[in-house]
């Protein structure tokens, strides 16, 4: 090897290692910041109680309204998105598979939907709510977040279905299956572990999103009792508390951030494990 090539080799090896380290460092630093600032405020009271009077001024209580609200919202949205995504993903891979151009178009369209900022979904849903005279509510939040995560779920399912070998499809048809039978009896079963991953990915995205719920789900100090109640969410809980000038309240925002990060990390790791087991 010439000296130039040796140097080139060394330079790029060091460069890639440094960039990789940087990414790890950023993640570690985020975790360090929220833990160092929030851990002291993390208590059973925070996790289990609704905000009491003067909570945002440093009063007692907790953020269970936001924790429960976020779960209700993300679970509801994931179920809704799943109901929409499953038929779409199967349709793409069973029926559209013969039409190459249309297939590419549909996938592109879904990727565009994926890329639309969540605040746009929020604003869009908000205009519809105004039109129908609806108030901020858990239901509206579920629909909005559902619309936000559906393209993610569809594309994730689509990627799983794409890996099913054409041979399995041929085997199914050659036994006399219809397309519907092939979709729901063969493809669905074959892709089930991957689908679980897709749902969890979308769930993780939904639970962490602030902008789409800002106008649609509202905010409240209470755990919602039905779909027409407004609901608090963890991202907005962090947002409102972090805006406070009082340090104790700010630290509680970090505690909420620890909770949210922990939930999202758990979901990501579960999704990975499920995907590997496939």
Q: Which residues bind another protein (CB under 8 A)?
A: 97-100, 165-178, 181, 185-186, 189-190, 192
* Ramachandran category for residue 54: left, alpha or beta (phi over 0 → left; psi -120 to 50 → alpha): left
Task: Give whole-number Cα distances, 69 to 61, 128, 149, 222, 226, in Å.
Answer: 16, 22, 17, 9, 11
Are 218 and 231 in contact, with CB atoms under 8 Å apart? yes
Question: Least separation, in Å, of the C-beta of 89 and another protein?
Answer: 16
Are 59 and 53 in contact, with CB atoms under 8 Å apart? yes
**Smaller CB distance to another protein: residue 124 or 188?**
188
Are 138 and 69 in contact, with CB atoms under 8 Å apart? yes
Q: How many C-beta atoms lie closer than 10 Å to residue 137's C-beta?
A: 20
**Smaller CB distance to another protein: residue 114 or 188?**
188
Question: Least separation, in Å, of the C-beta of 51 and another protein?
Answer: 49
**Smaller CB distance to another protein: residue 191 or 217?**
191
**Smaller CB distance to another protein: residue 49 or 177?**
177
The C-alpha atoms of residue 220 and residue 222 are separated, in whole angstroms, by 5
**Smaller CB distance to another protein: residue 169 or 216?**
169
Question: Least separation, in Å, of the C-beta of 174 and another protein?
Answer: 4
∠ at Cα 77 (74, 80), nearest 5°?
A: 150
Question: Least separation, in Å, of the C-beta of 177 and another protein?
Answer: 6
Question: Least separation, in Å, of the C-beta of 194 and another protein?
Answer: 12
């Amino acid at each position: 090897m010439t000296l130039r090539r040796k140097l080139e080799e060394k330079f790029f090896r060091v460069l890639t290692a440094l960039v990789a380290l940087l990414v790890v460092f950023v993640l570690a630093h985020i975790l360090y910041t929220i833990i160092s600032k929030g851990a002291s405020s993390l208590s059973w009271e925070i996790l289990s109680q609704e905000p009491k009077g003067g909570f945002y001024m440093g009063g007692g209580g907790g953020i269970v309204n936001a924790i429960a609200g976020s779960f209700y919202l993300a679970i509801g949205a994931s179920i809704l998105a799943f109901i929409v995504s499953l038929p779409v993903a199967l349709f793409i891979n069973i029926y559209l598979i013969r039409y190459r151009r249309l297939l590419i178009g549909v996938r592109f369209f879904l990727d565009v939907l994926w890329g639309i900022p969540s605040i746009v979904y929020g604003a869009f849903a908000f205009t519809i709510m105004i039109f129908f005279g609806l108030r901020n509510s858990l239901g509206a939040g579920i629909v909005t977040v559902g619309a936000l995560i559906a393209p993610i779920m569809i594309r994730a399912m689509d990627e799983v279905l794409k890996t099913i070998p054409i041979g399995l499809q041929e085997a199914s048809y050659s036994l006399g299956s219809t397309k519907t039978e092939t979709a729901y009896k063969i493809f669905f079963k074959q892709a089930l572990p991957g689908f679980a991953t897709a749902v969890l990915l979308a769930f993780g995205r939904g639970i962490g999103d602030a902008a789409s719920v800002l106008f649609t789900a509202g905010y409240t100090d209470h755990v919602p009792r039905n779909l027409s109640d407004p609901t608090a969410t963890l991202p907005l809980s962090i947002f409102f508390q972090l805006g406070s000038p009082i340090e104790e309240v700010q630290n509680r925002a970090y505690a909420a951030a620890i909770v949210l990060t922990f939930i999202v990390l758990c979901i990501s790791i579960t999704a990975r494990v499920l995907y590997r087991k496939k």
